[in-house]
Structure 1
Amino acid sequence: MPCNCEELEARERDSLAHYAQLSADSRGRNVREPPPEWRTQYQRDRDRIIHSRAFRRLDCKTQVFLSGSGDHLRTRLTHTMEVAAIARNIARALRLNEDLTEAIGLGHDLGHSPFGHSGEETLDELMRVHGGFEHNRQSRRVVELLEHKYPTFPGLNLTWETLEGLAKHDTAPEPPLGQAQAEFHNASLEAQVANLA
């Protein structure tokens, strides 16, 4: 018989390190919905990202703008799959939540523009008077507003922890001198692992 959500959460409590983010301790979603029956909250997030249109579109975006095509062309999709696999392996070794880490790794590039880094730089320059363009913010916009997969809420309705990881997947700057350390909030360890991967 397959494991239900409670059994999967119990496995997390028994096997993950005390500093790992447990699915049962999630801060929840913007729109409340029934808990998943056969998955954890973070497994649901991962699956929603994988089945999103934005994720499939990563196959048409390149890391670096190149003209032409070929067998060795690196797309955002191949990069994203590699990041997620590396992040999951690191999370396993550190006894962190693999599902949360993988969800962040899979979603980290959903907001990238076409034409590689040069496309993002050009778009940022064109949008500077409106606050610029930054792919982390666009990733959040994609999963919170632009995806229209569900009739009862906008976006994918991901957990707070996955959204935080998408927003903070780039290396955080050092806190300004004189700023109290308590005011400077770090991303979860799972988000930091996805960032390093």
Structure 2
Amino acid sequence: MAKVGAQRAAILTGKSKSTIQRAMNSGKLSFELDQNKRRVIDVSELERVFGIKQQNVATSTPPAETSGTQEIIAAVEKERMTMQIKMLEQQLSVSDERLSDLTDQRDKWEKQASQILITSQYSQKQAEELRAQIKEREDRARQRRLQNAQVQNAQKSVKGSKAARPPTGHDAKRLNEKMKKLKAENENAADYSSSVFRFWKRAKS
């Protein structure tokens, strides 16, 4: 990169020579010593600290120095473009990383949403099956209560009619068959209730 003295630096930046010298003395502006022990400043350093004023360069530079000034301006522009390219590349890299992270996060959310939907549909189906089985169990229990009432009424009727006369063989046989049938239904209902309870526990867990 081109290096210039304090006077040329003042022309390039539009600042006074004393301002450039104070900046060098305070350490704000970095400089080097050339072979003649003269302090020189890198143009990119001028760009960083003060910025380059091209209009001032064009109006203040003598015609004899136009060629050298143009070279400095070209070098400054090249350096500026290089810095902009690097900055844009860094921004692009960061954008690519963010896009990749957002894509991964979106895929993760879609997967979770699908799992929740599947689980919800499965749970709803289980709940419907359980409600249907509970309703069926309640209907059977209601039917058993009705049959129990009928048997009890039949027993009372038998006991109340002609207490001295025992029931005939036909009546006793029919009553015995009803009792056996009711006992078998009660056992089946108990097994069914147990199976429904086990199914409900599995669905709940």
If asked which structure has higher relative contact order (CA below 8 Å, sep 6+), I would say 1
User: Which TM-score applies when normalising by structure 2?
Assistant: 0.25
Q: Which has the larger radius of gyration?
A: 2
Tell me which protein shows more helix as a share of its residues: 2
